[in-house]
Structure 1
Amino acid sequence: MTAIFVNEQELVKQIVEYVEKDEIAIAVRKLRQQAANSRELLPRWLLNTADALENNDWDILSEGFINKDFIGKNGYFLIIAPYKINRQSQPQVTLSAIYGKMHDTQEPSIEQLENLSREKFGKLGQPVPKNYSFTEIASCGNISGESGEAFIVPYRWCFRNSSSGPVLNNASEQRRRFLGSSRECIKKIFEYETANLLLDPLEDEINDKRYRHADTQVHEAGHASGLGFDFKLKQKFFQNYTYGGVEEWRADSLGFEFAACTLAAQEAGKLVAVNLCIRFGLDAHRLGGLEKDVDVHAGLLSLEHLFQNDAIYITKNGQLALRNLSYPGLLQAVELHRAQALCLTRRELNLKSPTGLFSLYKIDIHPSIQSIFQGLVIERCQGIWAKLQ
């Protein structure tokens, strides 16, 4: 039985390699062969994937993706489809594949987060997408390596209604990036004790996957709150990177609020630490920079609110430092994030027309904060981070 399973893993890895080499006919044949013998992946999903590849008609995957039929026994899964990313505000669509194994992550529960959103806003804009954290086995295309996406959002899969599917978080790739350039950046940007406080949850080999999962799950609950991310997407609201950046910051900030409501302050503060490590150690250094990239803008907004809340200062050595060096203190540091995001979300629910979002999602950033972000965050890490392509 073990030999059969190991052999199946090797065969699926080969399918991903054939996709990467653009040997589509061979990949299609192997998928159909595997559908007849697979003990881990669902035959119907494999056959539909083969048909989609052969006919270049990807809508056949829509229902199975939404229903999570791509996840087989014991959490193993395979997705092959075109995936779109944005680099320097330009869309890039590439046939991509990901083969991996899901983690058994349960908290916080979707039901708990949806109830919280209804409690705070009176309604839920859309169902909270479930975030699945996984360990990668093989990948190619726009979701592979340093230049690809480790946080795989559903709406970028290029088939019908993909936004209704789950979020996939590549924990193994996230950890690889963190252990390299991201951790080094945090140590350069922040003074010693602040850096250690931020890094400790991600350096916890027992709990780091749990913290990553919880951070992304409360973030997705933030997107679902208010009018909902799907509604804004259908309204083509995210044409400008600044609107997307505000939405990302809003989701971060509501995530902090939901964490504060569902976890002890010590644990909620650790989720804030994970978020800041991602925003300042990774996202701030994306190739698009301050004038093009959604995630860079979200990090800039986060720094603006940390300074407005008087939670952070600049040391004599030109590094950023937190005033309260504890996880409950870190949760207090984002109190303004939480209050402003709650207010923004309630205001968007009171809009009479969706066009009102355009003026509502303009958040002023003080020029001095932009200069600090450019000099003490971005430029300080030039040459460290292998920037995303």
Structure 2
Amino acid sequence: MTTHLQESDGATVEVGPVAHGGHCVARLDGRVVFVRHALPGERVTIAVTDTTHDSFWRADAVDILEPSPDRVTSRCPVSGPGKCGGCDFQHVSLPGQRRLKAQVLAEQLDRLAGVPWDGEVEPVASPGTEDGLGWRTRMRYHVDEQGRAGLRRHRSHEIQPLPAGGCPIAHPATPSVVDRAWTPGGELLALTEVSAPVVVGATTASDDAEIVEHAAGREWRLAVDGFWQVHPGAADTLVRAVLEGLHPEPGERAFDLYCGVGLFTGALVDAGVRAWGVEWDRRAIGYARGNVPGAKFTAGKVERALRTLPKRTDLVVLDPPRTGAGKDVVDAVVSRRPRAIAYVACDPAALARDVARAARSGYRPTTIRAFDLFPMTHHVEAVVILEPTTGAS
């Protein structure tokens, strides 16, 4: 391994297309190399960082010989090769980032599901985030042996201490963690929300520590370390996209699977729908019941809970974790023959696999929208509406 690294460091490569995961594809002596900190069309000098795989290597672009028009100067002093792994695209203009994300989503949908898509990644408006910075309302930091708060380096347990001004993508209302020493080896959770004071504390927060958020015309209570979208405009944006795609009618029935504290359940209830939420996290379900008393909720793994839910429903919202819903859940959902399914996805590959699975039962996308909820990173959120094709039963 050391020999390969020494021989290949300093090699020049022509950078090819973007790939899922925040890197671009290049070739070195016929071998695929996934290059971070590069852009399609650039000619760069690389430093190889990983040769442990037989089929590909990983590398960083350390010298840009022919830059892309989309390349910009990073506004984070600890972004770049060998530094913080939190941001993939600090070196890319915002329009360029969105084009890259659209290309990745389109490639995954086409390759894994046979679904063509030529849409755009939509910006999400929120005051103060127009430049792609200051949007993350929840930050989880690690503390190094010197008591400095920081973030992990890419594919490493090493900690990159934060710059003096803090993390540039952190919301300005999140408390500073660079102005004091912390317990070495610990973790910190720094967050802000609309209606409660900002909180800084260990991630082992007490069970009764909670916060309050506002979205979709409702108030939402949740555990201080519970799941909530980190972009301040995300919750309202996703609710609008789901409702516009489903067109719920009063009196219809709906499942909200992976419902969390009930965000989509509440929006469906407010539209006059009889909604049933399912979530494996019992603490989240406890909050959901308080947040949306007009709905039913079940705590448990979705694939198991579906066995006890009604055999028919009109609508389904799927908002699974990054790994996707999986074949058992998708099969159980389409067997109910809903008139429409809203799939909210944070991973293009998992989304495409599940879309392909649904297609086997006659469900195809009628609407695909993508949103830039995570600027400076490779992550993208999508909302796909699936409906049965004509004649499917």
The TM-score bracket by the shorter chain reads under 0.3
Bigger radius of gyration, 1 or 2?
A: 2
Q: Kindly indicate which of the two structures has a greater share of residues assigned to strand.
A: 2
Bigger RCO (CA 8 Å, 6+ sep): 1
**TM-score of the superposition, structure 2-length normalised?**
0.26
Q: Kindly indicate which of the two structures has a greater share of residues assigned to helix.
A: 1
